[in-house]
């Protein structure tokens, strides 16, 4: 065919069609993939900032709640131990106890208000005075001091016991909670977390120097939204006027304030810029390759296109036996042969695809079953403490809640035992962490051997502390069980040179009640913790039981001391709701 006779219009249209067929689907799929990757990366980064903010809030609330719990135990203790001969509280005893308590708590000072006498006992650097004290709001756990440029701020935790007529205000340095607001791996190199008060001033130190938050409040929009009690994650500028990802949580537990988590958008979205550059490069390269391929294809198949189109129409209509005549030039012959082979292959492929579809469905079912099995194993592992092999804190919370509801339905008692290895820090420091780990494993094995009854569960509560659930058991039986465990640990005869006994021993605190509508799981845990505290103060290596009786205050029961006989601090109480 002469050059003048070539079908230029058809060739151009063919080039355009082939180019469109190559580019449009590919660019569409590429754009969809990029969009999915973009949303996945941004969602992950934003979600991570929110996770950090939630974690900091939970940790802060936990510290304040535990401080209040220890303060309540202190009030109960001094009320029992500091009465003078005339029945009044001894100021000298109270002062000594407060000094010991503030030292233990690493507090700056404390004030004890005795409502019967109207007297305030002050120790340390506390400036709280109850004659002008403004009560906490509902749910508030602490109050922070006013901003003072150049000086660290403090916060006060107040514990009141109207029944005893005692109020305790403990003043702490902010440095005690500063460690909560260290940077997180989720926030990269540029991230930070900090706590602000209800006016927008820093409580904990910010990572970057700024006049905002120190000499005047932070005016950034995210801070104002947070102070308006709005918890969320947004993209905005921070107090440095730098674009960051914000995650903020309002903190009513301190009377109003904010926990802020930041990461610079430049760092967080750096992978997106890399992805954009690569996508742009690949797109330009593909367009160039597709254009050249389209020109080559259009030039080679312009002449037989009509015959080929007719054959394609027949195949589209279901006539898979349609073929193209193998006549003409070499190019046409090759094209016709290729098309004919393609049509034959299409028939074969349709059959293979049907078989592969059935095979693929079977494989999907097998992999789905394997995934479900793996998920069940992973769920089981997430409930086990890796060191001791006992249940972990997560499983304790779930089982305790379940047993609580069951005990409430059946009107049965539920006992909780808190156990602590005596002087374990000294043991660790003296013998080393490997010996400490082995000690915890041996103690855990004793607990496991003594929790074989259905429903009983021994868990590692944290560090050297263990918690044991004993369903259907009253205080006396639970205390006897605890005494058996204490003696079994003594029988292990694990050497402990820094202990008075020369071996490793346990303190155990026992609490028990029959759940009803007015009680909570936290009551059971709190009383067990108080009993454990009494056991420690009483000389360690002993069992103390605490019963919850709504008609009287909690009364400790000292079951046994391994060194000598000790008079009982009280008798086991049996409220009307107890199972007997």
- Give pLDDT, residue 380: 57
Q: Give the separation between CA 274 and CA 253, rounded to whole angstroms.
A: 42
Residue pLDDT, tens place only, 384-439? 888 999 999 999 999 999 999 999 999 999 999 999 999 999 999 999 999 999 99
**CATH number assigned to the domain covering 393-561:** 3.30.70.270
Least confident of 51-60, 119-128, 186-195, 233-242: 119-128
Spatial separation of the C-alpha atoms in residues 334 and 356, rounded to whole Å: 31
Q: What percent of the chain has pLDDT over 70?
A: 84
pLDDT tens, 258-300?
999 999 988 888 888 888 888 888 888 888 887 777 777 666 6
Structural tokens at position 69: 């719990």
- Would you say 239 and 200 are in contact if contact means Cβ atoms under 8 Å apart? no
Query: What does the pLDDT look like over 133-150, one tens digit per residue?
Result: 778 888 888 888 887 655
Instruction: Enter the DSSP assignment of 518.
Output: T
Distances (CA, A) of 353 to 314, 317, 322, 368: 21, 20, 21, 22
* Cβ-contact 201, 215 below 8 angstroms: no
Give the separation between CA 67 and CA 526, rounded to whole angstroms: 12
| 439 and 424 Cβ atoms separated by less than 8 Å | yes
Q: List the domain boundaries for the chain.
A: 1-302, 393-561
Quick one: pLDDT at residue 24? 81
Which residues, 6 or more positions from 338, have their beta carbon under 8 angstroms from its beta carbon?
A: none
Per DSSP, the three-state class of 83 is: strand
Nearest one of 544, 572, 404 to 474, comparing CA atoms = 572
Q: What is the mean pLDDT of residues 218-241?
A: 90
For residue 235, give the nearest of 50, 435, 456 by alpha carbon.
Answer: 50
Query: Over the stretch 448-493, which tens digit does the pLDDT of each residue have?
Result: 999 989 889 999 998 999 999 999 999 999 999 999 999 999 999 9
pLDDT(519) > 90: no
Instruction: Please tell me the distance from the alpha carbon of residue 486 to that of residue 504, in angstroms, as a whole number.
Output: 10
Place of tokens 């801070």: 223
Write down the pLDDT at residue 11.
66
* pLDDT, position 357: 81
Rounded to 5 degrees, what angle do the CA atoms 470, 474, 480 make? 75
What is the C-alpha separation between 200 and 145, in angstroms, rounded?
13
């Amino acid at each position: 065919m002469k050059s003048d006779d070539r079908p230029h219009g058809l060739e151009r249209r063919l080039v355009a069609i082939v180019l469109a067929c190559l580019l449009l689907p590919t660019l569409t799929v590429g754009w969809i993939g990029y969009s999915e990757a973009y949303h996945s990366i941004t969602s992950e980064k934003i979600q991570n900032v929110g996770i950090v903010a939630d974690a900091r809030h939970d940790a802060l609330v936990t510290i304040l709640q535990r401080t209040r719990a220890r303060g309540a135990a202190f009030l109960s203790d001094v009320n029992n131990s500091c009465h003078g001969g005339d029945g009044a509280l001894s100021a000298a005893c109270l002062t000594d106890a407060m000094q010991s308590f503030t030292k233990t708590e690493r507090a700056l000072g404390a004030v004890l208000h005795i409502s019967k006498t109207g007297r305030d006992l002050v120790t340390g650097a506390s400036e709280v005075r109850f004659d002008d004290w403004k009560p906490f709001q509902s749910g508030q756990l602490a109050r922070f001091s006013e901003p003072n440029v150049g000086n660290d701020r403090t916060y006060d935790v107040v514990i009141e016991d109207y029944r005893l007529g005692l109020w305790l205000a403990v003043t702490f340095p902010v440095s005690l909670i500063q460690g909560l607001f260290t940077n997180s791996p989720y926030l990269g190199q540029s991230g930070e977390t900090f706590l602000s008060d209800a006016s927008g001033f820093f409580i904990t130190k910010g990572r970057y120097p700024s006049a905002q938050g120190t000499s005047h409040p932070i005016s950034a929009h995210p801070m104002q939204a947070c102070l308006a009690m709005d918890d969320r994650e947004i993209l905005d500028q921070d107090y440095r006027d730098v674009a960051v990802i914000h995650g903020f949580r309002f903190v009513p537990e301190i009377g109003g304030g904010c926990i802020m988590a930041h990461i610079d958008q430049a760092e967080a979205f750096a992978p997106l810029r890399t992805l954009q550059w690569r996508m742009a490069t690949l797109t330009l390269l593909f367009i160039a390759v597709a254009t050249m391929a389209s020109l080559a294809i259009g030039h080679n198949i312009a002449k037989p296109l009509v015959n080929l189109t007719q054959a394609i129409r027949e195949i589209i209509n279901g006539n898979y036996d349609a073929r193209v005549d193998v006549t003409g030039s070499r190019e046409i012959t090759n094209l016709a042969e290729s098309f004919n082979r393609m049509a034959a292959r299409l028939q074969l492929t349709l059959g293979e695809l049907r078989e592969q579809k059935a095979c693929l469905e079977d494989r999907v079912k097998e992999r789905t079953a394997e995934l479900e099995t793996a998920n069940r194993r992973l769920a089981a592992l997430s409930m086990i403490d890796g060191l001791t092999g006992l249940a972990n804190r997560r499983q304790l919370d779930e089982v305790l809640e379940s047993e609580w509801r069951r005990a409430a339905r059946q009107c049965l008692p539920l006992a909780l035992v808190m156990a602590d290895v005596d002087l374990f820090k000294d043991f660790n420091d003296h013998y080393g962490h490997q010996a400490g780990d082995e000690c915890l494993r041996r103690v855990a094995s004793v607990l496991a051997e003594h929790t074989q009854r259905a429903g009983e569960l021994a868990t590692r509560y944290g560090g050297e502390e263990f918690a044991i659930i004993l369903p259907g058991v009253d205080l006396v039986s639970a205390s006897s069980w605890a005494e058996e465990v204490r003696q079994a640990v003594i029988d292990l005869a694990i050497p402990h040179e820094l202990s008075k006994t020369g071996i490793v021993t346990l303190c155990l605190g026992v609490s028990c009640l029959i759940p009803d509508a007015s009680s909570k799981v936290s009551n059971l845990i709190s009383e067990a913790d108080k009993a454990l505290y009494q056991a420690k103060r009483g000389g360690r290596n002993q069992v103390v039981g605490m019963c919850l009786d709504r008609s009287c205050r909690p009364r400790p029961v000292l079951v046994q001391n391994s060194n000598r006989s000790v008079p009982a601090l009280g008798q086991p109480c049996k409220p009307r709701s107890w199972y007997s």
